[in-house]
Amino acid sequence: MEHTRTETWSIEDAAALYRIEEWGNGYFHINADGEVEVRLKDRSPLSSISLLKIAKGLQERGMKLPVLLRFSNILDDRIQHINESFAQAIKDVGYQGCYRGVYPIKVNQQQQVVEEITKYGKQYHHGLETGSKAELIAAQAYIDDPEACIICNGYKDEEYIDLALRGISLGINTVLVIEMPGETEIILERARVLKIKPNIGIRMKPSTVASGHWTDSGGDRSVFGLNTTQVITVVDTLKREGMLDCLKMLHYHLGSQIPNIHDIRIGATEATRFYAGLIHEGAPMGLLDIGGGLAIDYDGSRSNSSNSRNYTTKEYCDDIVEEIMSICKETKIPHPTIISESGRALVSYYSVLLFNILDTNIFWDENQKEEEIPEELLPALDNLLYVREMLNEKNTQECLNDLNYYREEIRNKFLYGTVNMRERAVAEHLYWSIIAAIYKMEAKGAYLSPQIKELEHQLSDIFYGNFSLFQSLPDVWAIDQLFPIMPIHLLDKKPDRKAILSDITCDSEGKIDQFIGRSDHNTTLPLHTPPEDDDYILGVFLVGAYQETLGDLHNLLGDTNVVSITYDEEGKFLLHNELEGDTVADVLSYVEYDPKQLEAKIRTKAERAVQDGLITTQQRRKIISAYTAGLRGYTYYETDQED
Ligand SMILES: *Cc1c(COP(=O)(O)O)cnc(C)c1O
């Protein structure tokens, strides 16, 4: 279908439809050509580049979709943003402590991310948070700044503790956080053996339970942290052992993506009371670690819904600093260094997934011509035809009820053999044509009732995308998280279709049917009829946090291709760190096939076929080379075969 510029459609309409200005946070915009552009440096238009141009450039270089794009400049901008927001809040109220961020490696463990954060973050002494031995081992290699901290959370065995203690003797500013009562003894024991003085933190269990998806870290039943009685036990143990002077930090974590600022305030108040309590017990302290939780506005609604947040970074910093300061004043204690463990807020904007649409299933096309119903089929359709005749704007609900009733009747008659297959087919078609007519009448109004929205959903197309939900967007599947999804081009044309998305796993769960939109959550996404002679490319945005490592190998669709784009000092865009995604041989070996053995089996099979006279030796060669090329190939749908 030809895309014609429509008089009444502008890129501003597209921006409003997909809410890009609300969730894009200055990083993503629509340019005058109707393409999505990313602004890499200081959110300045000078540093903007079109995602379509990137995709085309990659395709010219032989890299195929789907591809994950990473923008390290955005990471820099985020680090700057959070550090400067805290610095400003501290300055505004005359707070006497400082701020130190630590990045929790689990949020995106990619080497590039950790390298960039420690490199760019050095000017702010941004450190790292680790939750396991592997993360600590990575962190120790990258931290290169005695003022930046490594905060060690998670369950700790002797080896984890020894690694951390030896880090201290290397001059790495490391804090060992006691998460479970039993850890105290092991830490003290290992410190004695290695003769290294530990910095100890205590993770408290906040009684505040924040709202949101990922907030099980608060409350009595949270699996992490010490309750008040256990905190006292740790203090008494440290006193008894003469080690209370090692207690430097209080830590808490309310959970991730906390939508409501109210919960954040209460959490800070409760924690500062504990902090003051520990000082009054005689611990030196000095560090108050407020954990993560700073949320991202995925749906652009600026609300306290679980995919959004009702506050800005500035408000977050202001409220935390003020809350801590006021309790310090009341309890007459010095202002602590504030540590936060923001992960999501740092890395979400960093990655964008691009994929192409492979096919569409147009469920109902309102422009199709109605065919004449053959005379002999009419009697079976009597009731449905009557509904069609009676339908007007005032009785849509009644007609909808009748329609469903008569369709059921026809299906029953089919079961008893009194309606034949042809009659049923025409009846089904007629049913949907009347549904479409009802939807058209109702959709004119500004308000769509849930029932009409349901009709919209039922009439929508299915667009098949070249990606795996389970590999690239696991939280969409696991917890119905919403990510902004939109076409990255053709935005100067009005979208003419409403669709849901299906991935290429053959799993009925591999679909996306919840989208952000102008009103509340929508069950369809407005899209264009894909161009006939070109790719139609969609972007999924804000996927830098948590998605990569939670992804799995459903249907053996592997890692996607990855590429980083950087805007350098001279104003050039550099493609680097190209990582080929998994090959078929890679994913097969993850599940313990040996690609060499597979190939050998096919060779034997083909040889037998030659012996039996089923194929020629020439054909055998072709079959084997196709098989080995398949092993080397990308696990996703490849449109043009390489030779
Ligand atoms: C996961 C986690 C974080 C990161 O939380 P975000 O909401 O992504 O900032 C911070 N601290 C701890 C202890 C965590 O487990």
> Residues 213-263: pLDDT tens digits?
766 666 666 778 999 999 999 999 999 999 999 999 999 999 999 999 999
Is 442's pLDDT higher than 70? yes
Of all residues in the chain, what percent are helix, strand and coil, respectively (each to 5)? 45, 15, 40
Q: Does 289 contact ligand 1 (Cβ within 6 A)?
A: no
Helix (H, G, I), strand (E, B) or coil at 593: coil
- Position 520 scores a pLDDT of 67
The average pLDDT across 362-378 equals: 82
Give percent above pLDDT 70 in the chain: 96
Question: From residue 409, how far is each of 39, 414, 434 by CA, in Å?
Answer: 58, 9, 16
User: What distance in angstroms lies between residue 146's CA and the mean position of ligand 1's atoms?
Assistant: 23
Q: What is the pLDDT of residue 2?
A: 45
Pocket of ligand 1 contains residue 341 by CB under 6 Å: yes
Residue type, 375: E
Query: For a pocket test of ligand 1, which of 117, 253, 340 has the largest count of ligand atoms closer than 8 A to its C-beta?
Result: 253
Choosing from 135, 179, 341, 475 the residue with most ligand 1 atoms within 8 A of its CB, the one to mutate for a pocket test is: 341
Residue 551 makes CB contacts below 8 A (sequence gap 6+) with 468, 470, 471, 472, 473, 474, 559
CATH of 375-445, one of 1.20.58.930, 3.40.50.12500, 3.40.50.1970, 3.90.650.10: 1.20.58.930
Distance in Å, CA 129 to ligand 1 centroid:
9
Burial class (CB in 10 A: 0-12, 13-18, 19+), 536: buried
Which atom of ligand 1 approaches the CA of 546 most closely? 8
Lowest mean pLDDT among 171-175, 424-428, 504-508: 504-508
Q: Is the CB of 107 under 6 A from ligand 1?
A: yes
Can you give the pLDDT at residue 22?
95
The closest-lying atom of ligand 1 relative to the alpha carbon of residue 107 is 8
The pLDDT value given to residue 376: 83
Alpha-carbon dihedral sign for residues 228, 232, 237, 241 = positive
**How far does the centroid of ligand 1 lie from the alpha carbon of residue 188, in Å?**
26
Count of other CB atoms within 10 angstroms of residue 156? 25
Give the integer Cα–Cα distance in Å for 479 and 550: 12
* Residue 641: pLDDT band with limits 50, 70, 90: low
pLDDT by residue (tens digit) across 99-143? 999 999 999 999 999 999 999 999 999 999 999 999 999 999 999
Confidence bin at 378 (pLDDT 50/70/90): confident
Establish whether residue 153 lines the binding site of ligand 1, counting it when its CB lies within 6 angstroms of any ligand atom: yes
Taking the CA of residue 153 as reference, the ligand 1 atom at the shortest distance is 13
Rounded to the nearest angstrom, the distance between the alpha carbon of 73 and the centre of ligand 1 is 22
- Check whether 343 has a pLDDT greater than 70: yes
Scanning the structure block, which residue is given the tokens 């479970």?
180
The half-sphere exposure of 477 on its side-chain side, counting CA atoms within 13 A, is 20
Asked whether the predicted pLDDT for residue 5 surpasses 80, the reply is: no
342 lines ligand 1 (CB under 6 A): yes
What pLDDT is attached to residue 478? 86
Helix residue ranges, H only, 205-343: 228-240, 261-280, 313-331
* Beta carbon of 225 within 6 Å of any ligand 1 atom: no
pLDDT of 310 above 60: yes
Q: How far apart are CA 146 and CA 171, in angstroms?
A: 6
**What residue's CA is closest to ligand 1, atom 5?**
292
Residue 388 exposed, middle or buried by CB count within 10 Å (0-12, 13-18, 19+):
middle
Biggest CA–CA distance in the chain, Å, is 98
Interval between CA 256 and ligand 1 midpoint (Å):
6
Pocket probe for ligand 1: among 150, 256, 296, 317, the residue whose CB has the most ligand atoms within 8 Å is: 256
CA of 177 to the centre of ligand 1 (A): 14
Q: What is the pLDDT of residue 7?
A: 65
Give yes or no for residue 294 CB within 6 A of ligand 1. yes
Q: Which atom of ligand 1 is nearest to the CA of 255?
A: 7
Ligand 1 center from residue 258 Cα (angstroms):
11
Does 507 score more than 80 pLDDT?
Answer: yes
The pLDDT value given to residue 446 = 72
* Beta carbon of 108 within 6 Å of any ligand 1 atom: no
Which ligand 1 atom sits closest to the C-alpha of 344?
8
With a cut of 50, say whether residue 636 has pLDDT above it: yes
253 in contact with ligand 1, CB cutoff 6 A: yes
Query: Is residue 528 in contact with ligand 1, taking CB distance under 6 Å?
Result: no
The mean pLDDT of the chain is 92
**Which residues face 343 on adjacent strands?**
none
What pLDDT, in 10s, does the model give residues 54-69?
999 999 988 999 999 9
- The closest residue, in CA terms, to atom 14 on ligand 1 is 292
Percent of the chain with pLDDT over 90: 78
How many Cβ atoms are within 10 Å of 293's Cβ, its own excluded? Answer: 30
Does 264 sit in the ligand 1 pocket, CB within 6 Å?
no
What is the rounded radius of gyration, in angstroms, for the C-alpha atoms of the chain? 30
Tell me: pLDDT of 458 over 60: yes
At 177, the pLDDT band (50, 70, 90 cuts) reads very high
Using alpha carbons, list the distances in angstroms from residue 246 to 200, 234, 251.
6, 12, 15
> How far is 73 from 345, CA to CA, in rounded Å?
15
* pLDDT exceeds 50 at position 1: no
pLDDT in tens, 554-608: 888 888 999 999 998 888 888 888 888 999 999 999 999 999 999 999 999 999 9
Distances from the Cα of 334 to the Cαs of 264, 279, 285, 330, in angstroms?
Answer: 22, 10, 10, 11
Atom of ligand 1 nearest to the CA of 293: 7
Quick check: 256 and 263 in contact, CB under 8 A? no
Between CA 125 and CA 146 the distance in angstroms is 8
Residue 643 has pLDDT above 80, yes or no: no
Residue 339 has pLDDT above 60, yes or no: yes
Within 433-579, strands assigned E span 461-465, 485-487, 497-502, 511-512, 525-527, 537-540, 561-567, 573-579
Cβ 442 under 6 angstroms from ligand 1? no
The catalytic residue positions are: 506
State whether the beta carbon of 104 lies less than 6 angstroms from ligand 1.
Answer: yes
Please report the pLDDT score of residue 3 as a whole number: 53
Question: Average pLDDT in the 352-356 region?
Answer: 97
Task: Measure 346 CA to ligand 1 centroid, in angstroms.
Answer: 11
Q: Which CATH architecture has domain 1-94+350-363+460-581?
A: Beta Barrel (2.40)
Extents of the domains making up the chain? 1-94+350-363+460-581, 96-349, 375-445, 592-632
Query: Could you tell me if the CB of 248 is within 6 A of ligand 1?
Result: no
Q: Measured on CA atoms in the order 357, 633, 581, 57, is the torsion positive or negative?
A: negative
Residue 220: per-residue pLDDT: 66
pLDDT digits 0-9 by tens, 383-415: 999 999 999 999 999 999 999 999 999 999 999
Architecture of domain 96-349: Alpha-Beta Barrel (3.20)
Q: Which atom of ligand 1 is nearest to the CA of 251?
A: 13
Instruction: Write down the pLDDT at residue 517.
Output: 82
Alpha carbon distances (Å) from 599 to 57, 475, 558, 591: 34, 36, 20, 16
Å from CA of 179 to ligand 1 middle? 14
Q: Packing angle between helix 595-611 and helix 617-632, nearest 10 degrees? A: 160
Give the model's confidence band at 367: pLDDT under 50 very low, under 70 low, under 90 confident, else very high: confident
pLDDT at 375: 85
